[in-house]
Amino acid sequence: MKSILVVGLVTVDLIYYLNKLPNKGIKYVSKKQIFSTGGNACNASIAISRLGGSATFVGSIGNDFFGDYIIKELKKENIDTDHLLIKNNIKTPNSSITIDTNGERQIVNFRSDNLDFDQNNFIEKNIFNAYLTDGRLKNASIFILKEAKKNKKPGVLDAETPVCERAVKEASHVAFSMQGLESFTNTKSIKKALKIVKNFASNFSCVTNGEKGVFFLDNDDLLQLKPPKINAKDTLAAGDVWHGAFTYAVSIGTPIVNACKYANLAASKKCENLGGIKATPYKFKNDYVK
């Protein structure tokens, strides 16, 4: 079983399902509510574990009810939580999330300052098969991407806004969100933006764009890999599942195109069911990762 170190944001998500997303200062009644772990990196670690990898997660939580809940939930997912940082001077990040009948979501997130940490907090003398960070914690992200490079292992960056230039430089694989790519390159043209990234850093770079799939350059040609068409019920954590599945795939030596197709498929399966990260698929039969 391949071991993957995942570093970044962890939250508790309070998810509410509504017919439409809120747009007025009035009371709304939810037809369904779910209490769940969340956060980009935390969600990705759950995806990795369910899909067949061994995930070690490192993030910052408070010494509070939400922090205790996160530890219990991650242990249920067979994720190594021994290196979670429990800080007395912060509150565990949390989000209030609404999801409409089309699966679109609206998120209000609270996170304390001082979530970031440095190399003194990391596991020493442990080489993983791959490293993944959501970039939310700048110092931590740069350090583990440098560790990946030093150990000649894949170092994957989930590049959301704001994108750290140093992290992009250090990563072997960068998967931008559309917002992250546009803000990093200051252009809305996917092809032009990916060319800018290509000239900036010598790594594999792509951008995920929901139901349109993933785009990347093959030499100077823009390629698009579309996910299967589905009836999306809940898009929350779809990108996180994509990053977890992609990282797991490259950790076992899967070619890039197949890794992207596998990640597309895993994220699509997640979107077919309600529950945010709780809807993440377990290991499934496919043509891309064996």
Six token digits for residue 254: 């899967």
C-alpha separations of 149 from 4, 104, 253, 255, 269 in Å:
14, 36, 16, 19, 32
Is position 265 within any domain?
yes
Instruction: Tell me the C-alpha distance between 213 and 224, whole Å.
Output: 7
Q: Sorting pLDDT into bands at 50, 70 and 90, what band is 198? A: very high
> What count of Cα atoms within 13 Å lies in the side-chain half-sphere of residue 17?
16
Does 239 fall in a domain? yes
Note whether residue 288 is domain-resident: no
Residue 281 has pLDDT above 70, yes or no: yes
The answer to whether residue 286 is domain-embedded is no
Tell me what pLDDT residue 239 has.
96
Rounded Cα–Cα distance for residues 81 and 75 (Å): 7
Nearby residues of 250 by Cβ (< 8 Å), 6 or more positions away: 130, 154, 156, 173, 256, 259
Largest CA distance in the chain: 54
Spell out the long-range contacts of 70-74 with Cβ–Cβ below 8 A and sequence spacing 24 or more: 70/10, 70/12, 70/37, 70/42, 73/36, 73/37, 74/37, 74/42, 74/45, 74/46
Average pLDDT, the chain: 94
Residue 26 is assigned to a structural domain of this protein: no
Q: Which residues contact 260 (CB under 8 A, 6 or more apart)?
A: 206, 214, 216, 225, 246
CA distance 238 to 280: 9
| Domain encompassing residue 44 | 3-21+31-279
Is the pLDDT at 127 greater than 90? The verdict is: no
Residue 287 contacts residue 246 (beta carbons within 8 Å)? no
Q: Which pTM does this prediction carry? A: 0.93
* CA–CA gap between residue 187 and residue 176 (Å, rounded): 13
Cβ count near 220 (within 10 Å): 9
Mean pLDDT, range 230-238, rounded to an integer: 91
**Cα-only R_g, the chain:** 18
Task: Work out whether the CA dihedral 147, 166, 224, 283 comes out positive or negative.
Answer: positive
Nearest-angstrom CA–CA distance, 282 and 285: 10
Q: Encoding tokens for residue 175? A: 């998967």
Query: Which has the closest alpha carbon to 86: 125, 53, 112, 109?
Result: 112
Q: Quick check: 45 pLDDT over 80?
A: yes
Task: Classify residue 36: in a domain, yes or no.
Answer: yes
Domain-located, residue 184? yes
- 125 pLDDT band (50/70/90 cuts)? low
CATH number, domain containing residue 272: 3.40.1190.20
Could you report the per-residue pLDDT of 12-28, keeping only the tens digit for each? 999 999 999 998 889 99
238 falls within a domain? yes
Query: Could you please report the per-residue DSSP string of 182-240?
Result: HHHHT-S-HHHHHHHHHHH-SSEEEEE-GGG-EEEEETTEEEEEPPPP---S--TTHHH
Residue 201, token pair as written in the block: 């850093």
Name the strand (E) or helix (H) holding 63.
none
In tens, the pLDDT along 46-99 reads 999 999 999 999 999 999 999 999 999 999 999 999 999 999 999 999 999 998
Split into its structural domains, the chain has a count of 1
The number of angstroms, rounded, from the C-alpha of 187 to the middle of its chain's C-alpha atoms is: 23
